[in-house]
Chains A and B, each alone.
Chain A
Amino acid sequence: MIKKGNWVVMVLLILGLSTIAFPLYMTIVIAFKQPAEMTNSIGGILSLPKSWSFANFKEAMEVTDFWRSLGNSMLITVVTVILSILLHSLMGYAVGRNKAKSKFYSFVYLFIVSGMFVPFAILMMPLAKQTAELGLANWFGVIVLYVVFYMPMNIMLYSGYLVNIPVALEEAARVDGASTWRTYWKIIFPMMKPMHATVAIITALAVWNDVMTPLVIMAGSGKNTLPLAQLNFQSQFGTNYNLAFASYLLSLIPILIFYVICQKQILNGVASGAVK
C-alpha cells in the first residue's frame, strides 16, 4: 500500500517537473539559435536549432567580459555570504536570546526586522550620495550594503531558529567556566548549521542576481558584475535574446553548484541535530 502511494507521488512529481523542463528546454534551444531563426510560430520556437554551435556562448562571454565579471560577482557574493553568516547569526543570537525579556532587545529586533519593508528606491539616492562621501562607491561598499539589506531577513531567520536550541546547553558550558563568546562559537554556532545553509542560499541568490545595487553604487568604478554586464543584451529598441539566454545559462551554473552543496548541508545538519 505504501508502495502504491509512492508511485502516485512519483507520477505527480514528474508531471510537475514538466513545468520546469519546458522553460528550461526553451532557454537552451534559444541560446543555441541565431537571431534569424527566431519566429513567432510555435513550431518555429520549439524546433531545435539548425546547428549546435557554441558561437553564441563564445560571443556572450566576450560581450560580458565573462571571466572578469564572474570574478567580481563571485567575490561580492562569497564575501557577503560569509559576513552575513558570521554577523547575522551573532546578532540573531544576541537579539534572539534577549528579546523575550528585555525591552531594549525586542525594540532592536523590531527596528531591524522592519527594515525589510523599506523600498530600495527611497534609499537609493541617499545611499548613492552617502557611499560616495564615505569613499565606498566600489565593490566593498556594495558588500557593506548587502550585509545591511539582508540583515532583517537573516536575523529573523536566526533568532527564529534559536528557539529550537535549548538555553540549558549554554548554561552547562557556563558552569564549566566558558565565556559567553566562547560558548557561542563552540556550541551554538555549529548547531545552527542548517540555518547557515538556508541563509547562505537565500543571500547568495539575492546577491548573485541583483542589478540595482551595483548599478547605483558601482557605476563609473569600471567594474562590472555579471548581471550588470548582461544588461548589455537589452536596450529599448532591441534585445538579442539568443546571446542573453546563452549568457544566463552560463551564469546559472555556479549558483546551481552552490545550491547543491548547501542543500546537502541543510539535510545533514538537520539529521545530526535530530540525533542529539
Chain B
Amino acid sequence: MKNERKRTFLLITVPILALFVCFNTIPLIRGVIYSFTNFKGFGTYDWVGLRNYMDLFTDGRVGKSYWFTFKLAIVTTIVVNVISLLLALGLNSKIRAKSFFRGAYFLPNILGSLVVGYIFNYFFTYILPAVADMIGIEALRSSILSNPSAAWIGVMIVCSWQAIAMNTIIYISGLQTVPEDVYEAGSLDGATGWKQFRHLTFPLIIPFFSINMVLCVKNFLMVFDQIMALTKGGPAQSTESISYLIYNNGMSGGQFGFQSANAVMFFLLIVIVSVAQMKFSSSKEEQL
C-alpha cells in the first residue's frame, strides 16, 4: 500500500519535472553559458571569462536598476496589500450590488498595457497638473513622470492600480473560508472592528496573505510592462527596472552576454533572499 502511494507520486513527478527541466533549466543553462561570452544575440562570439560579472559591479546603470526595482517592489507590495485587504473586507461585507462591484474592481487587471500607459500618461501629464494648479499644490504643478526623483511614484501608482484587482480576489476567497460562527463567537467576547480583524479574521487568512505577498514580490521584482507603457526607463534613466534593462540591452541592444550575466545574478539574489525568508518564516511558525 505504502509503496503504491510512493510509486504513484514518483510517476507523477518525473515526467512533469522532465518537462520543466527541458524548457526551463536547459535553456537557463544555455543562458548561463552565454553569460561568459560577449555574444550579441547573433553571429560569432568570444569567451570573455568573468568579465561580464566584474562589469556588473562597476556599471552604474545596473546598480541603479537594482535600487529602483527593490524600492518599487517593497513600497508597491505594502500599498497593494493594505488597499486590497481593505477592499476585500468591503466587498465581503453585506452590501448591495456585490457582484457588480466585484466585476468592476477587476477591470484594471485586464486593460492592455498600451491603454493603461496612454491613460495614465495623460492623467499625469495634463489632468493632475491642472487639478494641482486649481487647488494650488505647487509640487504637483508639473508632471511627476518628468521628475527624475518622483517618477517612480507614478510607476508605483500604476502598478498598484493594476495589481489590486488580483490580490483582492485572493483575499476575498480567503475571507470566504472564515466561517460566520467565528465572528458570532467573537462578538460575544466583545471583539469588534479592528480587534475582531486583528485577532480573529487575520490569523485565519494568513495563507492567503502569504500567497499575495509572493505574487506581489514576484510581479514587482520582475516589473516590465508598466515601465514600457509608462516611462520607458526615463526620465534621466531613473525608472529602469532590472527586467527592462535585461530585455532592452540584451535583446534590442547588443549586450546579450552581459545582460545574461545580469539575469543570472538577479536570479541568484532572489533565490538567496527567498531561501533566507523561508528559513525565517518556518522558524517563526515553529515558535507559534
Contacts and interface: CB of A to CB of B under 8 A. Distances in A.
Q: Do A and B touch directly, given a CB cutoff of 8 Å in the complex? A: yes
Secondary structure dominating the interface of B: helix
Given A179-B4, A260-B103, A40 B126 contact: yes
For chain B, give the interface size range. 35 or more
Nearest to B218: A116
Interface in A1-39: 2, 5-6, 9-10, 12-13, 16-17, 19-21, 23-24, 26-27, 30
Interface string A88-126: 001101110110000001001010101111111111111
A153 interface: yes
Interface string B1-27: 100110011001100110110111111
A271 interface: yes
Contacts of B1: 174
Contacts of A148: 19-20, 22-24
Contacts, number: 236
Interface stretch (A47-55, A56-64, A72-80, A251-259): A251-259
Nearest to A212: B247
What range describes how many residues of A lie at the interface? 35 or more
25 contacts: A6-B93, A10-B96, A13-B87, A17-B104, A23-B108, A23-B120, A41-B126, A115-B20, A118-B267, A120-B243, A126-B26, A130-B27, A144-B19, A145-B23, A148-B20, A148-B23, A149-B24, A160-B210, A164-B207, A174-B5, A205-B109, A245-B118, A259-B103, A266-B176, A274-B176
Interface of B: 1, 4-5, 8-9, 12-13, 16-17, 19-20, 22-28, 30-31, 34, 41, 87, 90-91, 93-96, 99, 101-116, 118-120, 122-123, 126-127, 130, 161, 166, 169-170, 172-173, 176-177, 179, 207, 210-211, 214-215, 218, 221-222, 242-243, 246-247, 250-251, 256, 259-260, 263-264, 266-267, 270-271, 274-275
Nearest first, the 9 A-B pairs at minimum CB distance are A126-B27, A126-B30, A122-B263, A122-B31, A270-B176, A117-B270, A180-B8, A148-B23, A94-B12
